[in-house]
Each structure stands twice: as structure tokens, then as C-alpha cells.
Amino acid sequence: MGKPLLNVSELTVDFKTKRGLLTAISNISLTIKPSETVCIVGESGSGKSVTSKAIMRLIDDENGVISKGSIQLEDQDLNLLTKRDLNRIRGKKIAMIFQEPSSAFDPVFTIGDQIVETIVKHLKLSKKEAWQRGIELLKKVGLSEPVIRMKQYPNELSGGMLQRAMIAMALSCNPDLLIADEPTTALDVTIQSQIIELLNSLKKEFHMAVLLITHDLGVAAQLADRIVVMYAGTIVEEGKVEKIFSQPHHPYTSGLLQSIPKLDAKKETKLFSIEGTIPSLSNIPSGCRFHPRCPFATEKCRLESPPLKNIDGQQSACWHTSELINHENKFHDELQLGRTQETIPIQQEVTEQEPLFEVRELSKYYPIKHSHKTIKAVDHVSLKIYKGETFGLVGESGSGKSTFGRTLLQLEKPTDGEVLFDGQSLAAFNHRELRQKRREMQVIFQDPYGSLDPKWTIGSIIAEPLKTHLKKQSRKEILAAVKELMVKVGLEPEWIDRHPHEFSGGQRQRIGIARAMAANPSFVLADEAVSALDVSVQAQIINLLKELQQSSGLTYLFIGHNLNVVRHISDRIGVMYLGKIVEIASSEELFENPLHPYTSGLIKSIPSIETIGTHQIDTLKGEIPSPSDPPSGCAFRTRCPFATELCHKEVPTLKEYQTAHFAACHYAEKRKVD
């Protein structure tokens, strides 16, 4: 097996805070062999990022201290190195890439300057040689026109391009270990898939070990040899990727795996979710840290913390692992029977098909300063949203889906076109009438932190729409209504006087939902409403949204970028590309039989836990073009593998190819036959 490249043993990291020391991770032990890819998965607060930063000793600058344990890189203990010696290792032996490529480069230096700086520091090349090497590296990571890219500033490149440049910089000194901290989280699925492919080929070419940090089990499945699952600052399970995914030994891993909406799951089944939330570091539960959320917890779990035990090369920290494996069937049955079978009664089939929203040729253009051009964010979109249904809207960032949502609700004035709400044109209303109509249309936003006023109590946040829209006057009435809403969305009524900062992301999203529901709407726009949440919490919120829809007969427009999630919640899905709808179909139909090449490209880009290690290579190439200068003819032709002369010249119109299945592609008919 050979000697490990990196050996972390019993690592404990504390952070100095105003209230004293806070232990972020405790007793973390892991090894990485040369050329091996190890992936740490876990939700926010699990300590996975702290672990990776501790290895680089980056926590030194964040008031963090390694209070116990060692980090052995080959023969050196990184914990004992002086700053000077450490800087010889950073960037040379261990390189690191980060989550947010757009803020990971210094904005006032060119990409080239920043790559050269690293090379000159570690390889002692001349500036000229380093520049040349930089160009080669950019070519290697698949950036077109590397000579020009070197001279560009970070703000002139897209997120995907910057992440490639970041990888080039990390590889510039041939590191033995690459630490990638959520390298694809901020990117679109299509770009994510390209970056995964790139990392997969580069790690072979450079014979380097990779430590990947991610919350996305799908990404982990595509890249990892071995998986380490972290929860609340400790390792709960560790083993080979195939084993972890096929037979998890820890209830948390098992729960995480089940929380992901599967492609073949029936829509009426409730998504599996782990109850409760991840504990905060200042309030770690006794015994096994997972016990408050574990369906198998016993008295022993509450009192004693389980050590990592090795069973068939797979380690897990659970008192009940061996029983669970022995009773594998029972284990699975219990999880399946106990929870996943729970269904949400499907509503009366939407038979009468009465539209709530009818959108006719809706457009929203933004003028570009000092130019005659415009950005066509939404370009002649026509569609209907029927009463009681969930209409999903997907597309990469820049496709115009959020602008569509805002323009639909007249939060932005449309440039052209018409929106009928319940048969009445919204444009015909004056300010006051529109405000009254707004009561019926509520919005749930993506960012559960930014969308709640931090100075208000949650009681007053939820009460505000009651006062403005429903004209409820008496205090008693309002209080009762607020409490009822809180119960409805799964919040404790006693929390009414607390402030938003006292809640976790998932709970805040529940507050946002309660506020939307307070106005008693008939329509809710959910704009990336679960994107900022952890997998286990995301499932809870989706279930809540579905339940509310059933009980109140709501209609949803669900905008999202996670296709599995959108598929799970939506009845019909529209796919947007550069301001236009390119395909609309029922969600099953869309996934089984996509007619537009863009749709099938998007579907192929989803990293799936069902295909471990076999990364789809024929995903979408390139990036979405700038909406200020869209390609002629079919806007998608620049990335389409089937594009012909016709696509170059003529804009395809949205046509019905099968019952209720629309597509805007010249060759949809042919693809249908295929």
C-alpha cells in the first residue's frame, strides 16, 4: 500500500472567540495516499472546511489553534513548522482551490501576474519563463486563448473560467496534494460537470492526491476513491466510495443518501429527511453527537460517545453499526417503512386546467449604458401556469429565470407583452389595485439571511402581511393567527419574540414561508428557495412546501438550478436559455424524453450518486453566451452538438411535438423519433 502522503492524527482545532474557546473539530484522523482522492462530505457546521484549512494552517489567521494532534506530510509535521518553512510547502507541495472563484483572485492584478507570482516564488524561474509556463497551464485546464487570458483581470472572466484559472495556478508547481474546498458549489451544473471532468483527468496526469471537500454527495461519487463523512466536528464514517454508497454503516450517512431526491422516486412520496438541525458548535449534544436526530438512538448513545470502529475496512462511529449490518434488511426496512413510504396525498388531478397565470409574449430588456444594445433578459416568453400546479423553471445562471419571476409579478415593469392573472391583465391595474392583487402572489427568496429584517422579531415579521393585507386589527387576532402560521410551518409558537439571528438557515426559510402564507395567497413564487440549504434540511422544506400546497390549494412557480429537486416538486417544467423558453413538458416526460439538446445536456450534467466514478463526459460544452450579444438563429447553436446551417439562420419557435410537450428546436421531431 505504501506510505501515506498525508497523515492527520487526532487533530483538534479550537477557535478563540469572545466567549472563550470553541472546539470546531475534535479527534480527526485521516490519511491520504499518493495519487488518492479522499473526499470529506458533510453539511454546514460539520467542520469539513476547518479540517482542510487546518492542514494548510490557514486557521492561524482566523484565530484558530491546533490544540491537539499532528499533521504529518511525508516526514514533516506541519503543525511544528515556522511560518517561513510553512510558506515553502503552501502552494508547492500542497495547493488549494476554493469555493467562490470570483472572489478568490486579487481583483487588481491580472490572472497572469497572480500565476507568475506563485511560480516565481516556488520554482525560482525567471518572470519570462514563468509567464510561458502560465500560458501552458491555462491551455492545459482548457481555457481558450490563454495568451489573452493571462493579461486579463479577474472581473473580465466568468466563474467557470476563473475556476479553471484557479486550478491552473494550484497546479503550477506540481503539488503532491491538491485540496479542493467546494470547488464546484458556486457554479452551474453544466460548468460543475466540466470542472469535475477536468479534475478527474488532471489528477491522473499530475499523479497528485486530492482532498475534496463537498456537501454534494453526487460530486463526491464522481471524484472520490474514499469518503470521509463528518458531522458536528467529528468523523462519523469513513470507507471506500462504493461501500459507503451501497451500505452505509452510520445512520447519518444513510439519512444523507436518502435525502437526495432520486430520479426514479415517485412524486407523491414524501422526501426522506433527517429530523432537526445540525447542532451549533457552542451547543454540542452529549454522547453521540447525532443522537438527537437519530431514529436508532438509545440510552447508551445519549451518554457515551462512540469510537470509530473498523468493520470490513469501513469505519463508523456508531454503537449500533454491527447490529445494523447484521440486520441489514431490518435497517433498510425501518428507514423505508418508517419514513420514506410516507406520502403526501396527491391532490385531485388538475383536470379542468384553468390557468392562473397566462403569460403572453412577455419581454424584459435592460438597456446597456453608452450603447444602443439591450440585454434581453426575458425575450417573448409565453406560457400558462395552471391553478394548483407547481411549475418548475430551470436553466443556468444568466438564462433569465429570476427576471422572468420578477416580471411575472410586476415587481419589474415588463418591456413588452402581457400577464393575465385569473383572466385579468396585471398591466391594466393601477398602483393601488396592483397592491391588493399582490396579496394573492407571495414570494419566498433564496437567501434566508438577507430576506428577514434582523431587527424585527419573527412575530412581527410574520404579522406584517396580516396587518397590511388582511386588515386584521385586534392584537389578539393577529397573535393567534401568527401562532397558527408558525405551527403550520413547523416552528414553535413560543419563539415568537425571538430575532432572526437566533435561527438556523432552515428555520429562517420556514419563517419566510410563514410570512408568505400569512397573506393567504393563491400563488407563491419560490425563487431558489431551497438552494442555500443543506441537503437534510432542504428535504424538510420541500416536504413542507408540498404539504402547504395540498392543504391550501396553492399554485407555485418554483425556480431552481438543482434539477433533481425541481423535478421532484414540479408537475410541469420549463427550461430557459438566454431569455427564451426552449422546452416545456411534464416533469416525467421532460426527464425521460427531452426533445431539446439543451435539456438533455442539463440532465446529463447532474452528478449522480447512482453512477459512482463513471463521470458523464458528453455533457454540455462551453458556457452560456452573454445575453447582450446572443448568437443569431437558435441561441443555443454555439453549444449544440447537432447545430446545422438552419440553426444558424433561423430562430426555432416553441411548438407542441407531443401532447403538452413543447420544444423550440428545428430537429425536435427527429429527436423524438430517436
Partner 1 sequence: MLKLLINRCCTALFVLFGSLLAVFSINYFLPTDVVDSLSASNASNPEIAENLRKELGLNQPFYTQFSHYIIGILHGDFGASAIDGEPVIDKIITQFPATLSLTLTSILIAMIVGLTLGVLAAVHQNTVIDYVARVIGLFGISMPTFWSGILLILIFSISLGWFPAMGSEGFSTLVLPSITLGLVGAGFIVRVVRNSMLEIISENFIQTLRAKGLSERMVIYRHALRNALIPAITIIGVIIGDFLGGTVVIETVFARKGIGRLVADAIIAKDLPIVQGVVFFTAIFYVVINLLVDISYSVIDPRIRRQIGR
Note the residues at the interface with partner 1 (CB under 8 A): 56, 58, 61, 83-84, 86-92, 95-96, 98, 100, 103-110, 117-118, 121-122, 153, 155-156, 166, 169, 370
Torsion over CA: 209, 215, 217, 222 (sign): negative
Within 8 A by CB and 6+ apart from 666, the residues are 634, 644, 646, 647, 650, 652
Least distance from partner 1 to the Cβ atom of residue 91, Å = 4
Nearer to partner 1, 153 or 366 (CB): 153
CB 178 within 8 A of CB 96: yes
User: Helix 505-518 vs helix 458-470: angle between axes, to the nearest 10 degrees?
Assistant: 20
In the complex, the smallest distance separating the C-beta of residue 194 from partner 1, rounded to whole angstroms, is 21
Residue with smaller CB distance to partner 1, 35 or 110: 110
Between 175 and 459, whose beta carbon lies closer to partner 1?
175
φ/ψ (deg, to 5) at 654? -80, 115
Q: Smaller CB distance to partner 1: residue 61 or 299?
A: 61
State the nearest-atom distance from the C-beta of 5 to partner 1, in Å.
18
- For partner 1, the closer of residues 56 and 573 by Cβ is 56
Which value, to the nearest 10 degrees, does the dihedral of the CA atoms of residues 544, 546, 552, 557 take?
A: 110
Whole-number minimum distance, CB 106 to partner 1, in Å?
5
Nearer to partner 1, 123 or 479 (CB): 123
Nearest distance, CB of residue 58 and partner 1, angstroms: 6
We find the least distance from the C-beta atom of residue 366 to partner 1, in angstroms, to be 18
Please enumerate in sequence order all residues whose Cβ is within 8 A of that of 1, keeping only pairs 6 or more positions apart, or say none: 33
Burial of 651 (0-12, 13-18, 19+ CB in 10 A): middle
Residue 162 or 578: the one with the smaller Cβ distance to partner 1 is 162
Shortest spacing between CB 260 and partner 1, in angstroms: 28
User: Least distance to partner 1 from the beta carbon of 174, Å?
Assistant: 13
Pick 171 or 590: Cβ nearer partner 1: 171
The helix/strand/coil state of 425 is: strand
How many other β-carbons are positioned within 10 Å of the β-carbon of residue 282? Answer: 10
Q: How many residues does the chain have?
A: 674
Q: CA quadruple 478, 492, 344, 565: dihedral positive or negative?
A: positive
- Cβ of 553: how many Cβ atoms within 10 Å? 12
What's the closest the beta carbon of residue 156 comes to partner 1, in angstroms? 8
Which triple of cell numbers denotes residue 652?
A: 426555432
Q: Quickly list H helices, 304-348.
A: 321-326, 328-335
Contacts of 486 (CB under 8 A, 6+ apart): 458, 462, 492, 493, 495, 496, 514
Nearer to partner 1, 98 or 577 (CB): 98
User: In angstroms, what is the minimal distance from the CB of 313 to partner 1?
Assistant: 32
Closest to partner 1 by CB, 172 or 600: 172
Distance CA(348)–CA(359), nearest Å, equals: 25
Q: How many helices (H) and strands (E) does the chain have?
A: 24, 24
